Structure 1
Amino acid sequence: MAEFSNPHLIEFPKLGEPGIGYISVTEQSQLVPFAVQRIFWTYYTPESIVRGRHAHHRTEQVLIAAAGRITVTTELADGTIELFRLEDPHVGLYVPPQAWHTMQYSHSAVQLVFASVPYQEADYIRTYEDFKRIWAPQA
């Protein structure tokens, strides 16, 4: 089984100044720790909705709040839970495979996601009980 980093923040360069605005950029393999195979974004998510509620067998992701605020909770198989607040568009969150994650959005939030593999339904672990069972430490 491959070893992956724990969830962690990635700071992208923030170039510019208040009077003209900013740009953040990365090139393949500079800051994103995998080859990007899929890019998607979510928006207009009501604040009362919690999205995610799944883990992946193989997919690595970097989540970015391109606008607004996103609160991300991650849980690893060993029970480690972390809370991340994304609200700066030059900061991303690396989410490894095997990490249960949920996201809650401010009304204006736009989430940009870089993923390591194309969409495959079989890669998703959709119930918390399956997540705990599949990734439970072996005795």
Structure 2
Amino acid sequence: MDYTKIDDIDLRDIPKITDPRGNLSVIEGDLLPYAVQRVYYLYDVPSDAYRGGHSHKEQQEFLIALSGSFEVILDDGENKKAITLNKPNKGLLIPTGIWRELENFSSGAVCLVLSSGKFLESDYIREYEDFKLFKGA
């Protein structure tokens, strides 16, 4: 049984170095509670499409809107919460055992994901009913 709750989700500031030539943000040190094992990004997502629709048994993920905006719908099996990501110096840390769906992508939106694990299909829970069983709901 997984006891991860909505309150365990963390919207984190990414350090920003401001410069007249353009800003720079850095992810290093202890900003993330894990070593990044996989990096991927979503782009050219139609505004009426959605991504995600799964949970992880062990992986944690850190989502950043590098460009544009999108909404992350989070569900711990009992409570739901929607968070809009629209700043490249803010990231959403999603722990294990949280169902997520990404939707309402703006034109030109790019979602960067820094994952704690390499792709492993057996780590995914892709059916919501299976997710509820995993959570003991």
| TM-score using structure 1 length | 0.90
Q: Which residue of 2 aligns with 1:21?
A: 22
Query: Offset at 1:3?
Result: 7.2
Q: CA deviation at 1:107?
A: 2.1
Which position in structure 2 is the counterpart of 1:88? 87
RMSD: 1.7
Q: Which amino acid aligns with 1:119?
A: F
Q: Which residue identity does 1:25 align to in structure 2?
A: V
Tell me what 2:102 maps to. 103
Separation in 2 of the partners of 1:13 and 1:21?
Answer: 14
Instruction: Return the TM-score normalized by structure 2.
Output: 0.91
Does residue 47 of structure 1 match 2:52? no
CA-to-aligned-CA distance 1:6-51 (integer Å, 9 cap, x gap): 111010111114x3210000214x2111111101011000010011
C-alpha distance in structure 2 between counterparts of 1:32 and 1:119, whole Å: 19
Q: Equivalences for 1:126-137 in 2 at 5 Å?
A: 126-137=126-137
Aligned length: 134
Structure 2 unpaired stretches of 5+: none
Q: Distance in 2 between matches of 1:96 and 1:75?
A: 11
Kindly report which structure 2 residues correspond to 1:52-71, keeping only aligned pairs within 5 A, or say none: 52-71=52-71
Check conservation: 2:2, 2:134, Cα contact below 8 A.
no
Contact 2:70/2:84 (8 A) holds in 1:
yes
After superposition, the C-alpha distances for 1:98-128 in whole angstroms (9 at most, x for unaligned) are 0000001112110110000100011110011
Separation (CA, whole Å) in 1 of partners of 2:126 and 2:102: 14
Give per-residue Cα distances to partners, 1:49-106, cap 9 Å, x unaligned. 01100001001000000000010011113x1211111100000000111000000111
Question: Which blocks of at least 5 consecutive residues in structure 1 are unaligned?
Answer: none
Residue 75, structure 1, aligned to residue 75, structure 2: yes
Q: Secondary structure at the match of 1:134?
A: helix
Q: What's the % identity of the aligned pairs? A: 35
Shift of 1:2: 8.2
SS of 1:26's equivalent in the other structure is coil
